[in-house]
Amino acid sequence: MSLANTRIVARLLAVAALAALTAGCFQPMYAEHADGTPGLREKLMGVEVPPVDKNNASREARIQVEIRNALAFKLYGTATGMPPTHRLVLRFNSSRSSLMIDQATGLPTSENYGIDAQYNLIDLATNKSVMTGTTFSRVSYDIPGQLQRFARARAFRDAEDRAANEIAENIQTRLASFFVAGT
C-alpha cells in the first residue's frame, strides 16, 4: 500500500471513530423521550397564545388573528393545547412602502409589506419572563395594473398572510430552540 492510500485509510478510520463516539449524543428534536420527561411537542403544546389587543374590525386585528392561528397550528398541530405552562405575549407593528412607481401615472407598481413583532414567554408557575425576542418579516407584492383595484387589494391581503405566517414560523422556531436548549 502506498503512503497516500495509508493516509486515506487512517483518515477514514478517524472519521469513523469520531462518528461512533458522537452517535449516542444525537437525538432528534421532536423525538419522544424514553425516560418519561416531556418531549418538545408536549412543551410546545403547553404554550398559551392569548389574543393580541388590537381594535376590532381593523386590518391589524385581522393580521393578529392570522398570526395567532398560524402560531397555534405550528405549536399544537391539529390538536388543542395541553394545560398551559407558559404564556406567549405578542405585540407587533406593520408597515407598507412603495418600491416601484409607474412613471406615467405616478402610482406604485410594486410594494413592500412588513411586520415587526416582539414576543415575551412567561412561565405561569412563577409569572416571570423566561425569554424575550423580536422578529420581522418583509414581503413584496406586485400591483397588477392600476385599474384592477380588487386584484391590488387581494395582492395586499396575500402579502399580509405570507408575512404573518413567516412571523409565526420564526417564533415557533425560537420557542423550539428555547425548550430544547434552554436558552
pLDDT tens per residue across span 136-163 = 999 998 887 767 778 888 989 999 999 9
Give the pLDDT of residue 93.
92
Could you identify the residue written with the cell 423525538?
31
The fraction of the chain above a pLDDT of 90, given in percent, is 38
pLDDT of amino acid 138: 95
> Residue 132: which pLDDT band, with cuts at 50, 70 and 90?
very high
Asked if residue 87 lies in contact with residue 120, where contact means CB atoms within 8 angstroms, the answer is no
pLDDT score recorded for residue 162: 96
Tell which CATH architecture fits domain 37-181.
2-Layer Sandwich (3.30)
Question: 43 with 76: CB under 8 angstroms?
Answer: no
Greater pLDDT, 58 or 90: 90
Q: Domain map of the chain by residue range? A: 37-181
Mean pLDDT, residues 46-59 taken together: 82
**Pairing relation of β-strands 47-48 and 108-123?**
unpaired
Residue 121's pLDDT is what?
A: 96
List the single range of 92-96, 101-105, 118-122 with lowest mean pLDDT.
101-105
The pLDDT of residue 43 is above 80: yes
